[in-house]
Chains A and B, each alone.
Chain A
Amino acid sequence: MGDAAARNFQFLAYGLIAVWAILAAYVLTLVSRERKIQREIESLKRILEDRGGR
């Protein structure tokens, strides 16, 4: 394989990795946001239960 063809393949790999990485980054953002919301809901529910119990 010539230098140009190898570089061509190298950049194809970069392209595919970039597409997957962008989508994976968005999925990870969703996961972390989900955890944060869940944590906040649970903590607020606990606070409300404590206040209700007093």
Chain B
Amino acid sequence: MREKILYALGALAALLLARNIWVMLTGLPDEAFQGAIFRIIFFHVPAAFTCFLCFFVALVASISYLKSGKMQWDSLAVSATEAGLAFGAANLVSGMIWARIIWGIWWTWDWRLTSMLVCWLLYAGYLVLRRAVEEPAQRARLSAVLSILSFAVVPFVFFSIKWFRTQHPQPVLYGEGKMDAAYRAMLYLNWVPLLMLAAVLIAIRIGQENRRRELDALRREAHSI
């Protein structure tokens, strides 16, 4: 039953994404200065929001693990981190493609871009750390600490365009650089299926983590015989 719900949610997310791509290509006008490439923002920004939300979930799960010692929290933390990294990669790559057209370069060491890359690498390091530690409780404890420390970079990434002079555009959802209402609506509409997709990916990954623990228990049993 749980699997059917996950598949249904995933299929609904894919349908919504396909519908949104159709609407953004046929129903929304080009942006006056940027042209068609502007539409990348409808994936670039929601991917970043989804990534940060996943990292926040990982933060809460990591704190909960350190408090309770329950492995379910560790499963949630690693699952949310992995999904967050996938959406973070989508954000970074889509931003680079946009930059190639608008700035004429793929990358610049600007505060926002650099801090996002550092954030992504820190969380990638979290996964590397997990592979390096064999003992499950020690692995969970160390990675929880790293996850909590890594989250310190997230607000920095978010506010870097406010705190520093950057090449990256200013916020598009509030303030002086606010987009037109139709563009904002599309951005939020596209965030919904990405959130649904993230929820499905995290749920599937948690299931895998539980089965991996079952596998570890079987291995121990096999060794003890």
Contact = CB atoms under 8 A, between A and B. Distances in A.
A11 B101 contact: yes
Nearest to A18: B93
A51 B223 CA distance: 11
B152 to A, nearest CB: 25
Interface residues of B, number: 36
A30 B222 contact: no
Given A11-B101, A22-B93, A45 B218 contact: yes
Interface in B171-225: 197, 201, 204-205, 208, 211-212, 214-215, 218-219, 221-222, 225
A8 B35 contact: yes
B86 interface: yes
Contacts of B214: 41
Contacts of B215: 37, 40-41, 44
A18 B92 CA distance: 10
Contacts of A19: 43, 47, 90, 93-94
B36 interface: yes
Contact of A47 (B100, B201, B222): B222
B40 interface: yes
A28 to B, nearest CB: 11
